[in-house]
Amino acid sequence: MPEYKTIQVSVENSVATVTLNRPEIRNAFNEVMLAELIEVFGRLRGDHEVRVVVLTGAGKSFCAGADLVWMKRVISYSYDENLQDSNQISECMHRLYTLPQPTLARVNGAAIGGGMGLVSACDIVIASDKAVFSLSEVKLGLVPACISPYVLKRAGEARCREFFLTGERLTADRALAAGLINRAVPHDDLDRAVGELVEQLLTCGPHAQATCKDLLAKLPEITLEEAKGYTAHVIASLRVSDEGQEGANAFLEKRAPAWRTGGAATGRRGGGAKDS
């Protein structure tokens, strides 16, 4: 991985960790961080050696949303300049959401505004019990527009109506009850909980996981009649794939499949969640 100005990226044992690295301003993002995240998510999409992606923040915060210095510049932008910046936010969220690998948000502290978008675009979210969450855009006369598709998918319309309209700050327990996160753990147990989940994810077939993400993206957009043929095609294709064959044979032979033992790849990973 190249050197980045606002993020750190490390890859170890098939796990890529992407760390938002502006702790002095609570990992608030600007156009530089967004561009770097877009770039690294593009790299990870094509890296078949990376099996899991963990997103976290340096220091005491996960991400405090938009950088105030950047926001001051944006105030003077024209509509076209604002649209270009907004498209960058949308592209960052979409690239994260559509990664073929399982993505895990390790929320070590506050996730505010756009930080909630990064959280919601991940597949699984584990948060410290000290973390706080807020969709605070309305307090600035704005809306959580570019991140709204992902927050809505995660928490549903009823919760989003409340949180979008009030901008209130939520504890980890309230975020858990609302479905915004998957688990809230004691702060000192955060790394252990993340590590255990990563190990569990690595026991599963990577092509199957990517196909699961495709399945979850596709099914809400098609009818039950269309789903019959689509889902039959999905499972038939997996059964005859290299990975499916390896998994079935390993189960019958009572041995670990190749993806758990460091053997050769057993089938090309799919493209992740899709728009249609």
User: What pLDDT does 275 receive?
Assistant: 39
Domain positions in the chain: 7-201, 205-261
User: What pLDDT does 232 receive?
Assistant: 98
Contact 92, 34 (CB under 8 A): yes
Q: What is the CATH number of domain 7-201?
A: 3.90.226.10
Contact 23, 59 (CB under 8 A): yes
Active-site residue set: 137
3 state DSSP class of 166: helix
Distance CA 228, CA 270 (A): 21
| DSSP letter, residue 220 | G
User: What pLDDT does 263 receive?
Assistant: 61
Distance CA 225, CA 248 (A): 29
Please name the amino acid found at residue 242: D
Residues of the chain falling short of pLDDT 50: 265-268, 271-276
Read off the pLDDT of residues 5-33 as tens digits, 9 standing for 90 and up: 999 999 999 999 999 999 999 999 999 99
Read off the pLDDT of residues 51-60 as tens digits, 9 standing for 90 and up: 999 999 999 9
Q: What is the CATH number of domain 205-261?
A: 1.10.12.10
Give strand pairing partners of 105. 55, 125
User: What pLDDT does 74 receive?
Assistant: 87
User: What pLDDT does 272 receive?
Assistant: 45
Give the containing element (helix H, strand E) for 112. Answer: strand 111-112
Same fold, 7-201 and 205-261: no
